[in-house]
Amino acid sequence: MTLARKLMLAAAAAGTIFAVGCQKEAAQSASSAAVDAPGQGIYFQQCAICHGRAGKGDTMIAANYPWANLADTKYGHGSTREEIIRNITDGVPQTPMRGFKGALSDEEIGQIADYIIAMGKQGS
């Protein structure tokens, strides 16, 4: 076997290992998430600290608030996509839920709203 052929085989083997590794990672991240949607990454970054990664609202900050659970289909401040978008944009007065106007774009807020709606449907 020539050196070039050996190198090619080694590269092919490394590629296979790499591909298997990626598949495993993808499967893991899918299983730790309720649903897969473009809004998920922003949700994890901006919202999960209070609402929890699974959306149940079972965190130190939000646990005592009746409507912090986003993983069900019950809403206290409006359940339509428009109302959810409004609540994310303007916040919920008298609660730690502040508005994200300016911090997130309209497109991002729309994506998170879709994510929350999907999460709720999957929850209960």
56 touching ligand HEC, by CB under 6 A: no
Residue among 34, 35, 71, 112 that touches ligand HEC (CB under 6 A): 112
54 touching ligand HEC, by CB under 6 A: no
Helix, strand or coil, per DSSP, at residue 43: helix
- C-alpha distances in Å from residue 105, one per residue of 7, 42, 84, 96, 119: 48, 11, 15, 20, 21
Q: Are 89 and 99 in contact (CB under 8 A)?
A: yes
Tell me, residue by residue from 7 to 46, as one string, x for binding to ligand HEC by CB under 6 A and - for no binding: ---------------------------------------x
Q: Please identify, using beta-carbon distances, which residue of 66 and 102 lies nearer to ligand HEC.
A: 66
Please give the helix or strand (H or E) that residue 121 lies within, else none. Answer: helix 106-123
Q: Please identify, using beta-carbon distances, which residue of 23 and 73 lies nearer to ligand HEC.
A: 73
